Amino acid sequence: MLDIHRLREDPIGIEKRLQSRDPSIGLTEILKLDEKRLSLIQQVEERKAERNRGSQEVGRLKMDGKDTSKLIASLSSLAEEIAHLDDELKQVSARIDHLLALLPNVPHPSVPVGAKEEKVVLRSYKESPLFDFPIKHHLEIGEEKGILDFGRAATIAGARFPMYMGMGARLEMALIQFMFSYHAKNGYIPVIPPFLANSESFFVASQLPKFADDVYYCEKDDLYLNPTAESLLVNLHRGEILSLEDLPLNYVAYTPCFRREAGTYGEDERGLIRVHQFNKVEMFKFTAQETSYSELDQIVADAEGVLQALGVHYRVTLLSTQDLAQQSSKTIDLEVYLPGQGRYYEVSSCSNCEDFQARRGNTRYRPAALEKPLYVHTLNGSGLATSRLLAAILENNQMKDGRVRIPEVLKEMVGAEFI
């Protein structure tokens, strides 16, 4: 959530930067309501001061044995006016909070202005493998080898739910274990959080109120299914004041993730590309304000380390303003190449949300003893999501004889060199 003081100080500049994300965004209503709120606060304070002076006068009149009925009647009328102004103030404040909750984060100055397709390629790792035989889509490979069974998964749950079988299940679990251990060895604190969360947690994460239709909701229990561990980890220190010495706090979590993915998707997004359920290892950081962008570089490097260990060709892209998630100020994606489709797909998204989520969760740190607490900056990064990564392994490691090479770092856990 944005700081209303920031909007007051630079309304034109902030509005222009927000409109680079969405041209329909306007701050006029919020700023007018903010002026009204400030006026109401002043009116309430003036009338309360008047009421206090009147109460003191009543006491003096009574001590002098004088009539206080007219003054008491006047104070009663003043109390009603204060109550009315208080109600109006609550309504105006609630409307401001609602509108602020819908606004996205302000893009960092380094983020290119543009549409979703206008991302900037920063660098790449390795080259895509060359094949001297007809290559297959990962779904074709998975079904031929009996390691992916979307048909039976659909019988159990419906379309776009995956089911891993045999070596497919072993490869999926090996990926999870490898990535979870990899980040833990790099100093991230391992976490396996609850897979459901309450509405306040999802508000802090910025899933609510704007994206309520995108998540699975358990109405009877008033709980939401986790769409990404970011939504859970951002609440680890909700309402706390940390010390500068505590920061950065680095966490890594494993969770299954559930997304409604409402909409119609084309043939190119079949198989493991866009599913309602997938596994993910997530990195999350709470940092001091002045170090958050160096920590963003680090979280990207940690995600890249996984792909390099797996020997997968990938590229690093900087997202444009219109492709940012609501809470993000800057996002860098890692994209793997799938030769079966001749295109890149995102497998890790690393974002600096600055103090956007921390304001919602009131998560702060004290720079030094007796100093005023500041809001932390929060960062998240997939480390990584397994579904598209597994697809990349199947498609990039396919061989002419029909086998698929297992990445070296996974062979021992999978218990085989080939599928």
The active-site residue out of 349, 351, 382, 387 is 349
Please confirm whether the linkage preceding 384 is cis (ω < 30° from 0).
Answer: yes
123 catalytic? Reply is: no
Backbone angles phi, psi at 219, to 5 degrees: -60, -40
Task: Say whether 93 is catalytic.
Answer: no
Q: What is the CA radius of gyration of the chain?
A: 27
261-298 as b/e: b if 16+ CB within 10 A? eeeeeeeeebbbbbbbbbbbbbbbbbbbbeebbebbeb
CB 215 within 8 A of CB 259: yes
Residue 317 CB partners (closer than 8 Å, separation 6+): 119, 120, 121, 122, 332, 333, 334, 335
> Which position among 37, 274, 360, 364 bears the catalytic label?
274
Q: How far apart are the first and last CA of the chain?
A: 48
Is 387 in contact with 328 (CB distance < 8 Å)?
Answer: no
Spatial contact of 96 and 30, defined as CB atoms under 8 Å apart: yes
Joined together, the tokens standing for residue 368 give 């030094």
Count of CB atoms situated within 10 Å of the CB of 331:
26
Alpha helices in 146-251, H assignment, sequence order: 150-156, 167-185, 199-204, 230-233
Q: Which of 282, 304, 346, 354 is catalytic?
A: 346
Tell me the two tokens of residue 281.
């290892």
Catalytic residue among 259, 304, 328, 395: 259
User: Rounded to an integer, what distance in angstroms lies between the CA atom of residue 232 and that of residue 197?
Assistant: 7
The yes-or-no answer on residue 346 being catalytic is yes
The encoded tokens of residue 231 equal 């939504």
Residue 349 a catalytic site member: yes
Degrees to nearest 5, angle at CA 320 with 97 and 305: 105
Among the listed residues 256, 270, 275, the one whose alpha carbon sits nearest the alpha carbon of residue 338: 270
Cβ proximity of 363 and 375 under 8 Å: yes
Q: Is 206 marked active-site?
A: no
Residue matched to tokens 């160096």: 294
Catalytic residues: 259, 274, 346, 349, 388
